[in-house]
Structure 1
Amino acid sequence: MSASGAPDDLRVVHELAGLAALVAERHGLYVRWSRGPRTDLGATSSTDELTGVRLPGLSANPLDVEEWWEGRSVELWVARRLYDYAHLPHDQGPGVRPWVLKGRETGRGPDNEPLVVDVEPLCWIGPHVIAEAREAVARQESEWGTLRRSGH
């Protein structure tokens, strides 16, 4: 999909189970937390917030289940992938929300996150999915912290 035709009116996934089913059936999917495909694909790259360096792709987080997960719940896998970055809408301001894309990895960003090009927007992730992800993580025996960094 070209940058000029990138819709922000993508379908919305409203259930964690629905997102997990998508991840189970398709490979090469990523989640991106931003103001959406129309904004992102117009820019075609991300910028390192610390240095201002333009990165060679959009920063995103992979949703593919790793082999070491060994058949555990795809829903829990996806929940963790979302939980780790659920602070971003608060930190980055109004309009920032998660969406799923298919793309090709072209490198790694400063936080070792994939940088993705040839982006095909697939769907938005609804707020109920994030709430379900938080609940799934809360049910685990060990505490998980998010990747949120404090300013010490």
Structure 2
Amino acid sequence: MEANSSDMFTVRRLGELTELVGAGLAPYLRYSPGPEADASHPSTDHESGLLMPGLSVNPLPAPGWWTLPLEDWLARRVCQYLRELREGAYPWILSGRSVDFGPDNEPLLVDVRPVAWLSSQVIVEAKEHYHARLRAGESTH
């Protein structure tokens, strides 16, 4: 990695994250102990125990079919892995080079460049936004 967490700023509002993603400066989200811990090893597929060739991340830019506001998409993405917080992980945004994909079709990155931490306020705001604007948790069946 080219930077460590001391070089990172903190995103404090969902609107600020929306601006960063819209400008192409925050392409991926990761929940983990942080850049330093991740620099020592790639992600592991927990079911097989196999090491993957990069860090497992979630893309933040909305796909082409998404016609709602970007902020709606980002609230959904931030809330997708909140269970990781209970396991001691922290949300942070990063960039890097995609080299493959993981078991959930998520990109696996190398040449990782940490960008910013997400504050707890962003998490709270994303949860509120997600539940107010989208049908959070509804079954697809």
**What TM-score, normalized by structure 2, do the two folds share?**
0.90
Deviation at 1:28, TM superposition (A): 6.8
AA of the residue aligned to 1:31 = L
Cα distance change, pair 47–141 in 1 and its aligned pair in 2 (3 A): closer
State the alpha-carbon separation in 2 of the partners of residues 141 and 132 from structure 1: 14
Which residues in structure 2 correspond to 1:23-102 (within 5 Å)? 23-26=21-24, 29-43=27-41, 45-70=42-67, 72-90=68-86, 92=87, 94=88, 96-102=89-95
Q: Is the 8 A contact 1:34 1:98 kept in 2?
A: yes
Match for 2:20 among 18, 22, 26?
22
Correspondence for 1:149: none
Deviation at 1:65, TM superposition (A): 1.6
Structure 1, 10-19 or 27-36: larger mean CA deviation: 27-36
Cα distance change, pair 28–99 in 1 and its aligned pair in 2 (3 A): closer
Q: Is the 8 A contact 1:137 1:144 kept in 2?
A: no
Partner secondary structure for residue 12 of structure 1: strand
Deviation at 1:140, TM superposition (A): 2.7
Specify every segment of 5 or more residues in structure 1 that has no aligned partner in the other structure, as ranges. 146-152
State the alpha-carbon separation in 1 of the partners of residues 134 and 57 from structure 2: 28
Partner secondary structure for residue 105 of structure 1: strand
The reply on whether 1:127 has 2:120 as its aligned counterpart is: yes
State the alpha-carbon separation in 2 of the partners of residues 143 and 134 from structure 1: 9
Deviation at 1:58, TM superposition (A): 0.2
State the alpha-carbon separation in 1 of the partners of residues 119 and 25 from structure 2: 21
Deviation at 1:73, TM superposition (A): 1.1
Query: Which stretches of structure 1, 4 residues or more, deviate above 6 A after TM superposition?
Result: none
Cα distance change, pair 28–98 in 1 and its aligned pair in 2 (3 A): closer
Q: Is the 8 A contact 1:30 1:102 kept in 2?
A: yes
Specify every segment of 5 or more residues in structure 2 that has no aligned partner in the other structure, as ranges. none
Structure 1, 134-143 or 79-88: larger mean CA deviation: 134-143
Q: Is the 8 A contact 1:27 1:64 kept in 2?
A: no
Query: In angstroms, what is the RMSD of aligned CA positions?
Result: 1.8
State the alpha-carbon separation in 1 of the partners of residues 77 and 134 from structure 2: 17
AA of the residue aligned to 1:8 = S
Match for 1:136 among 97, 119, 129?
129
